[in-house]
Amino acid sequence: MQTLEISDQTAQQLHDLAVQERLSGSELIERLVKKYSDELARQRELKVFFKLYQKDLSGFSFDRDEANER
């Protein structure tokens, strides 16, 4: 197991949240880590999903006058 070093302020915030949620400190940290992992997985899924729709628009130019003529 790895030792985790946190500031006193962070430790106090974790303690306050644990008391508020009626959990032990370690249970709260487990929940936070799980939630963070789930969020990372969701971000990866969204990147894969939207990759299909990404187009190279570097050569695109917009001419307002031409667009207004249409």
Report DSSP letters for 33-62, one per residue: HHHHHHHHHHHHHHHHHHHTT----TT---
Closest to 28 (Cα-Cα) out of 11, 8, 40: 11
Token pair 């070093």 in the structure block, residue: 5
pTM for the whole thing?
A: 0.60
Sign of CA dihedral 37, 39, 42, 47: negative
pLDDT reading at 25 higher than 70: yes
Over the stretch 46-65, which tens digit does the pLDDT of each residue have? 999 999 998 888 888 888 88
> Domain residue spans in the chain?
1-54
Taking domain 1-54, whether its CATH number is 2.40.50 is answered by: no
Provide the mean pLDDT of the chain: 88
